[in-house]
A and B are shown apart, each in its own frame.
Chain A
């Protein structure tokens, strides 16, 4: 099972500059663990110590923001595409 993950500029230091990486997992959480095993450090940029997605980052499965589909528990299937984008926000 291969899922393509689009990596934003700021996280490409973890992926050797690659814009996309490929991983596997039945849920988004499992996919993040798999990617982190290939690209150490990336999980810490996405997931808090409490095991939740960072407020600063948006993750989409296909076109859906995972905040509305179960966050890290969002189920994945072969061929899904995951996009990670930092929130553009401020005060």
Chain B
């Protein structure tokens, strides 16, 4: 399980505070108004920002000072998830070895991962030669080979149309199930939450609420969520 213990991070006049526990294997949607601190929360968990106070633990191990690649975390960012000068296979291969010197067995894993996301035969294509949806699939294939127990998604599919986004969220869900990973996804869209999440973290003005069951939260929403959805 992932524990955020009294985390505080101040940036100018914005302060993020989080104090919560996320059970292992959960699929958590992070929602809240623009500027509430959703991306900042993921940056702290990912290790791109160091909190001013508090600790982060995974299965009891303190990771507060660990560098991003030392954490048991795979990422999908808002954009630039693929290196434009590398083929799909190379982009996936980086998830196995950062020097890209792969053994035959590892190359086979790359091919299998690309097949698992439905991209058989497109190993040699560069991102520019792939559609937006296919690019998302390559990035998900990399998450698959990284085999990390935590996956963070910061609105990675927001540039896709609604149908394609739904498809990708379904695929991301499959990937997390296959790996048994804990998944946190920032999103704006309640339909995404319905499709994907069992737990929801509501953030408003930097205040990060503990995760609640989505069904229960819909039945009994916090005041901010009511005006956010507009009901």
Chains A and B belong together in one complex:
no
List chain A positions with a Cβ less than 8 A from chain B: none
